[in-house]
Amino acid sequence: MRYFKFKGFHLLIFFHVLAATPVFSSSDFSNQLSTNFLDIAKKAEVFDWMVKIRRKIHENPELGYQEFETSKLIREELDKLGIPYKHPVAVTGVIGFIGTGTSPFVAIRADMDALPIQELVEWEHKSKVPGKMHACGHDAHVTMLLGAAKILKQHEKEIQGTVVLVFQPAEEGGAGAKKILLAGALENVSAIFGLHMLPNIPVGKVASRTGPIMAGSGVFQAIISGKGGHAAIPQQTIDPILAASSVILSLQHLVSREADPLDPQVIIGQAAVQRCNATVIFHGEVEPFYPPTVNNGDLHKLFQNVAVNLLGTDKVNVDMAPFMGAEDFSFYQEVIPGYLFMLGMEYNSSEPFQSLHSPYLKINEDGLPYGAALHASLAATYLINYQQNVTQLG
């Protein structure tokens, strides 16, 4: 099915691609939006409101598919802003709508879940839930999407289509994105944008790339069984520890000596060498495989132009090194042209760096307006360009 002989097919596909992902030219980007969304996002009225929301979510972290209070907070804020939404979608998910309510539709997404980690940062708004922490910055992600919603709602008349706000559950292993898609919540959506905060990029800077940006991931369990016996008669025993040790070392050898670091492969079978039995169990239902995150090329051009317009050329890295973490944003990209970028929220460059998922992670709230403004600008500009392309093609 990958090779089409008929010319008609080529033509059909060509038009489909044009309709699905408008081609953007750099001249389209100047002065498209009457207001600079970053200026609005930095205003005390919006910034202080966002900080308050972020701290509230940070204090009450909830794990995947249990984000009931977070979901409630989101709906309360959307109610106050007069933004209609669908709920529940995928257990705790909330899908909001701003604009004309008609086609074209563009989605912007935030994940809501926290991690089973005990927060070790001592501060006023430390997690109040023992053993749970927003150590991946999803508290900031939710906040910035609400920030974008507030800005876009204020400029609803300028929106040339509909912005779909996606507050999704369970990014951390639960594949909430897949559930959102299965619920049919993103039918008719022609592009989707997402961001991830990073603690090692300064505030005001962003990074991304076209094509593959993050790895795929999968979880499996290997059970190696041997046969017990007296240590003095090893020939009558089968030692699973030796076999397991051999597997561990061999896997490391594979990574360091056999596999392309950007194309990792894992081969099993070491246990058999040591006369043990090995069983490999895939937990596809509980922990689904995440496909690689692959950024759409046309949306990359749009991101580059919007981000440079908003932040300046020196603040936008459009060729970041791919990152070996995985993101369930990739599920959206399998069915909709999608784009994920990294947002700088470095706390303080003089402090030791703490990675995502560290119990010591601290994020810089000064980055919140940048995320909100980028979300809003990307969505609004996408729709303007989409309409321009439809007119030109028509």
Interface residues with Zn ion (CB under 5 A) are 136
- Residue stretches of the annotated binding site for Mn(2+): 136, 138, 172, 196, 357
The Cβ of residue 251 has, within 10 Å, a number of other Cβ atoms equal to: 15
Least separation, in Å, of the C-beta of 217 and Zn ion? Answer: 11
> C-beta of 356: minimal distance to Zn ion in Å?
5
Please give the DSSP secondary-structure letter assigned to residue 232: T
Residue 163 or 170 with smaller CB distance to Zn ion = 170
Enter the tokens of residue 339: 């784009």
CB of 171 to Zn ion, least distance (A): 6
Nearest CA-CA partner of 164 in 112, 103, 77, 88: 103
Q: How far apart, in whole angstroms, are the C-alpha atoms of residue 87 and residue 25? A: 37
Pairing status of strand 189-198 against strand 105-111: parallel
Distance CA 304, CA 363 (A): 24
Could you give phi then psi for residue 233, rounded to 5 degrees?
-120, 65
Bridge partner residues of 167 (DSSP): 94, 110
Of residues 358 and 388, the one with the C-beta less far from Zn ion: 358
Q: Which residue is nearest to Zn ion (CB)?
A: 136
What's the closest the beta carbon of residue 115 comes to Zn ion, in angstroms? 7
Q: Are 237 and 228 in contact (CB under 8 A)?
A: yes
Between β-strands 220-225 and 277-282, what pairing exists: parallel, antiparallel or unpaired? antiparallel
Q: How far is the CB of 346 from Zn ion (least distance, A)?
A: 16
Q: Cβ closer to Zn ion: 99 or 199?
A: 199
Q: Which is nearer to Zn ion, 53 or 135 (CB)?
A: 135
- What is the tally of helices (H) and strands (E) in the chain? 11, 12
The CA–CA distances, whole Å, from 55 to 11, 98, 111, 332, 357 equal: 52, 25, 16, 28, 18
User: Nearer to Zn ion by C-beta: 61 or 161?
Assistant: 61
Least distance in angstroms from the C-beta of 261 to Zn ion: 21
Helix axes 368-393, 297-311, angle to 10 degrees: 130
Identify which of residues 70 and 274 has a Cβ nearer to Zn ion in the complex: 70
Query: Nearer to Zn ion by C-beta: 136 or 186?
Result: 136
- 280-297 residues labelled b (16+ CB within 10 A) or e (exposed): eeeeeeebbebbbbbbbe
Closer to Zn ion by CB, 161 or 338: give it.
338
Q: Give min distance, CB of 256 to Zn ion, in A.
A: 25
Binding-site residue ranges: 136, 138, 172, 196, 357
Q: State the minimum distance, in angstroms, from the CB of residue 130 to Zn ion.
A: 20
Give 26-47 as a DSSP string: GGGGTT-SSS-HHHHHHSHHHH
